[in-house]
Amino acid sequence: MIFNLLALIIAIPIFCAVYFAVTAPLQRALLLVASIALSATFGWVTCGCLLIVTGLGYGFGRVIARVRSAMLLATAVTVIVAPLVILKYTDFFLTSVQAALAWGHVQIQVRHLGFVLPVGLSFYTFVVVGYLVDVFVERIDAESSLARFALFTSFFPKFVAGPVERADSFLPQVQTAKHFDYARVTDGIRIMGGGLLKKVVVADRLAVVVDSIYHNPEAYRGLVLILATVFYMFQLYYDFCGYSELAVGAARVLGYDLTWNFNRPYAARSVTEYWRRWHISLTSWFFEYIFAPIAALLRRSRSAAVLVGLMATFIVSGLWHGAQWTFVLYGVVHGTAMCLEYITGKPRKWLTRWMPLRLYAVFAWFTTFAFLDCVDVLFRSRSVPEAGRILRNMLEGLGPDLKFLFDQHFNPSALKALIAGFPVLKVELVIAVVAIACIEAASFLGKRQPFRERLLKLPTWQRWAVYYAVVAAIVFLGSQNRATEFVYMRF
């Protein structure tokens, strides 16, 4: 769903006025109709897949609750995952086979089927698989109402890109009537305002910068490529975090609580900590439904269980993000980093005793951030060879760039000269950087208490000054950018 200012101003208040005026069954019916209608706006394939996966998940869940057969569970999961695998990975498999045969000097022509991946399929497929496993292990009871289960899979705030909600946290919320709560509604609006700010003021602006450089990455070297990839890191984060906050805020207005998906991921001091902070709902899903079963199978050897489980989990995570070898390699690299952190746990603890704690914290943060910057080249590149060329150009150009800055005593004009090659207006960069600095400062201040809650303690004029500043930024700065879809819609 592309949230935009017009929809927020017109559609949501009208819908909420009707929603809070009717009884609980009608509330659920309204939400279900709105959710299915939203899926239909993306085409009949998207809507049809949603209804088919929902119906199959509901039926399998009811049968599994009675039979409790591991074979039945495996069959159900296979059937539920089949549409995702076929639609997303068939062409990738055929292309990979063709490339492998060509490497062996066997030339064949493979016809690509060109399947279109329905919006949201990856997310609600995982939601249904998690539900079936939870029913099998008796963590929850099978849902008796098809309508309530359909709302669980299709709930419109989270339909496009999550969060990946668990049945045990969402389904109980469907049971109760929702009443208008001023404090809850205004809190939801504040969350949505923050999400919209991140999307249209920061992410969309950075997209222009990143796309212009990654469209022709061979033309750039050194710090320009490094900065472009750093900007991509923040574009990806603010884009997805912005969507998640819009989803959480909209759900909160409607009386539902969704998982908070991000917790300052770029403040992480290790790759392990990063994955505890990034896309929390999906990461926890991977660890509970992929890592945990593998680790349980190999429990006789704890180290092997952890290492194999981590690599398998991150390879699946990479494939989930996209049917390209860049994503597979992205998962392998992250899995390798997680394994290395597990193996080197004791030496790193010794290092914290040898180094001053604050110095170690800075060192750990910098190395983690630099690693993420390099690996995200894979996430953004169109192919593995292109990613390799970009990383090579980064490293080859970094030395001369740093020497130039050193010779110029790191004068700001020297840095300005280095980034003169950015094919965008410098004012756009300044706006993006200032916006990131303000948002990150607010996030830092909200470590112990969310910034939006701290706002409530401010005098009225200060609080409303912040509100007006956010709205003005969205209207006057966001409107300057070309509209872009949410990045995670493609996954």
What are the DSSP calls for 309-340, one per residue?
Answer: HHHHHHHHHHHHH-SSHHHHHHHHHHHHHHHH
Residues 251 and 329 in one domain: yes
> In the predicted model, what is the mean pLDDT of residues 26-52?
90
> In the predicted model, what is the mean pLDDT of residues 39-54?
90
Taking a C-beta distance cutoff of 8 angstroms, is the pair 224, 400 a contact?
no
Whole-angstrom distance, CA of residue 79 vs CA of residue 60: 10
Whole-angstrom distance, CA of residue 417 vs CA of residue 398: 15
Can you say whether the dihedral through the CA atoms of 338, 339, 345, 347 is positive or negative? Answer: negative
21 in any annotated domain: no
Residues 172 and 188 in one domain: no
Residues 52 and 127 in one domain: yes
* pLDDT higher than threshold 70 for residue 481: no
Residue at a domain's end among 135, 156, 177: 177
Question: What percentage of the chain has pLDDT greater than the value 90?
Answer: 36
CA dihedral 156, 161, 167, 172 (to 10 degrees): -40
* pLDDT higher than threshold 80 for residue 111: no
List the domain range (segments joined by +) for residue 54: 28-177
Instruction: Grade residue 1 by pLDDT with cuts at 50, 70 and 90.
Output: very low
* pLDDT higher than threshold 80 for residue 149: yes
How many domains in the chain? 2
Which of 2-6, 58-62, 270-274, 467-471 has the least mean pLDDT? 2-6
pLDDT, position 334:
95
pLDDT, position 2:
41
Residues 286 and 413 in one domain: yes
* pLDDT higher than threshold 90 for residue 284: yes
Residues 230 and 171 in one domain: no
What is the pLDDT of the chain when averaged over all its residues?
85
6 in any annotated domain: no
pLDDT, position 3:
44
14 in any annotated domain: no
Whole-angstrom distance, CA of residue 30 vs CA of residue 17: 12
* pLDDT higher than threshold 90 for residue 338: yes
Which of 48-62, 243-257, 431-445 has the least mean pLDDT? 431-445
Residues 79 and 210 in one domain: no
Read off the pLDDT of residues 122-141 as tens digits, 9 standing for 90 and up: 899 999 999 999 999 989 99
* pLDDT higher than threshold 50 for residue 146: yes
Residues 228 and 329 in one domain: yes
Which of 62-71, 354-363, 398-407, 446-455 has the least mean pLDDT? 446-455
* pLDDT higher than threshold 90 for residue 365: yes
pLDDT, position 483:
55
Residues 156 and 190 in one domain: no
pLDDT, position 173:
92
Taking a C-beta distance cutoff of 8 angstroms, is the pair 99, 132 a contact?
no
pLDDT, position 4:
47
Instruction: Quote the pTM value.
Output: 0.88
> In the predicted model, what is the mean pLDDT of residues 210-235?
87
